[in-house]
């Protein structure tokens, strides 16, 4: 039985919290919430369960550390506040608490992260004899597990493309996803954070370089490309309202280039409603979203991963899978040697331990 603290209860955190409460091999001992309207509320209420747990949310990190849990599941939004997030993570790691998470996507994979990020975390792991593992569905699964599975089926690979094609209309995250992608902005307005020079390559360049390293090839460069699509009529959806002339879809990619051609690409096609950017690719089989890998080679291999739920929207189902990538690694991370852990360090069968009871 692993004692676990859930850190944040947002789009991903609420699903991680629900999973922890439900699993017989995990015991929830604490919950962190940053919002005043969540502090003091029972964990069950924060993830849609009816039976109280007796564990109430707090914003007191020291109190959570004092509980001495085996592991913290860290799903707080970190990409817009990396300095604060590093400070929180290092405090927990230095106290001897293992951490799994879906935030700090620069750590997918950790070996490709810059020293400003990796250094303090590695130091904290040494001090506390603790481990840190970060992964998700993208960055994460599509650029490692799904890619490796596809590549294992070819005798020679010529090119690889990893795609996320999703309709984000019902994704309730305008404050980060909506603003960072620039939904609603016109072509004349200032570029959103995600599309400033070099930002995309810092977030998805690591997985591209990691795949190249695993293949044993050298890339000439890693570059980004961005193509916005602007609405010709008003679009109203959960994400936001887009007026005519505002951006309602975007296609962007990070490409690993060799001999002038992209050979490893991580591409996103993101829409607000199916009526946006109708000449761009859609998910196959009429699905609302897909994580796809296509390997051109001998033979050609295409893997399409669809997640769904009888109640939740496809974007929320994706958040469940993102949470799973962290929660399912808890037991292994708690047994692993101190340091930053990459997906490649975890035997695949370890990720399914405890999933059926």
Instruction: Compute the distance between CA of residue 188 and CA of residue 303 in angstroms, rounded to an integer.
Output: 38
d(CA 45, CA 304): 35
Specify the pTM.
0.93
pLDDT of residue 248: 94
Give the pLDDT means over successive 10-residue stretches in the chain (357 positions): 96 96 97 95 96 96 97 93 96 98 93 94 98 96 97 98 93 84 91 89 94 97 96 91 94 97 97 93 91 98 95 91 97 97 95 93
What is the secondary structure of 149-200 as a DSSP string?
A: HHHTT-SEEEEEEEEEEEE-TT---IIIIIHHHTTT--TTSPPPGGGSTTHH
pLDDT of residue 172: 83
* Residues 50 and 169 occupy one common structural domain: no
Show the domain range for 217.
141-306
CATH number at residue 89: 3.40.50.720
Task: Verify that 278 and 150 share a domain, yes or no.
Answer: yes
Q: What is the predicted pLDDT for the residue at 49? A: 95
Q: Is the residue at 313 inside a domain? A: no
Please return the burial class of 282, using the count of CB atoms within 10 Å of its CB with bins 0-12, 13-18 and 19+.
middle
| Distance between first and last Cα of the chain | 14
Phi, psi at residue 124, to the nearest 5°? -65, -35
pLDDT of residue 288: 87
Predicted pLDDT of residue 120: 97
> What pLDDT, on the 0 to 100 scale, is given for residue 170?
86
Q: How far apart are CA 182 and CA 351, in angstroms?
A: 35
- Confidence (pLDDT) at 272: 94
Could you tell me if 22 and 55 lie in one domain? Answer: yes
Q: 238 with 159, same domain?
A: yes
Structural domain contains residue 348: yes
CB within 8 A of 10, min separation 6: which ones? 75, 76, 77
Q: What pLDDT is stored for residue 285 in this prediction?
A: 86
Task: Indicate whether 39 and 66 sit together in one domain.
Answer: yes
* Domain shared by 196 and 161, yes or no: yes
Is residue 81 domain-shared with residue 159, that is, in the same domain?
Answer: no
Residue 298 and residue 153 share a domain: yes
Provide the pairing of β-strand 261-271 with 247-258: antiparallel
H or E stretch covering 137: none
Do 208 and 88 share a structural domain? no
């Amino acid at each position: 039985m692993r004692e676990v603290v859930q850190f944040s209860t947002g789009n991903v955190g609420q699903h991680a919290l629900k999973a922890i409460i439900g699993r017989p091999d995990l015991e929830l001992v604490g919950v962190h919430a940053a919002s005043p309207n969540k502090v003091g509320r029972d964990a069950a209420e924060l993830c849609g369960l009816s039976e109280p747990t007796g564990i109430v949310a707090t914003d007191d990190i020291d109190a959570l550390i004092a509980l001495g849990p085996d592991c913290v599941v860290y799903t707080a939004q970190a990409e817009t506040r990396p300095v604060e997030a590093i400070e929180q993570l290092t405090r927990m790691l230095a106290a001897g608490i293992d951490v799994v998470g879906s935030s700090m996507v620069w750590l997918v994979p950790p070996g490709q992260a810059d020293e400003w990020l990796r250094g303090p975390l590695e130091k904290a792991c040494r001090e506390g004899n603790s481990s840190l593992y970060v992964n998700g569905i993208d960055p994460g699964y599509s650029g490692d597990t799904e890619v490796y599975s596809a590549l294992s089926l070819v005798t020679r690979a010529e090119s690889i493309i990893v795609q996320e094609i999703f309709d984000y209309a019902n994704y309730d995250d305008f404050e980060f996803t909506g603003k960072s992608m620039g939904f609603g902005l016109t072509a004349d307005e200032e570029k959103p954070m995600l599309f400033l020079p070099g930002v995309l390559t810092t977030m998805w360049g690591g997985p591209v370089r990691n795949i190249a390293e695993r293949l044993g090839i050298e890339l000439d460069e890693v570059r980004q490309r961005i193509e916005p699509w602007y609405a010709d009529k008003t679009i109203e959806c959960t994400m936001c309202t887009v007026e005519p002339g505002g951006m309602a879809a975007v296609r962007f990619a990070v490409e690993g280039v060799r001999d002038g051609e992209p050979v490893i690409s991580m591409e996103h096609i993101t829409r607000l409603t199916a009526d946006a950017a109708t000449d761009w690719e859609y998910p196959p089989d009429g699905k609302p979203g897909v994580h796809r890998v296509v390997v051109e080679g001998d033979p050609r291999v295409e893997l399409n991963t669809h997640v769904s739920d009888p109640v939740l929207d496809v974007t929320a189902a994706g958040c469940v899978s993102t949470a799973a990538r962290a929660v399912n690694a808890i037991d292994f991370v708690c047994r692993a040697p101190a340091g930053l852990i990459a997906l490649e360090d975890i035997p695949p069968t370890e990720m399914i331990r405890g999933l059926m009871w």
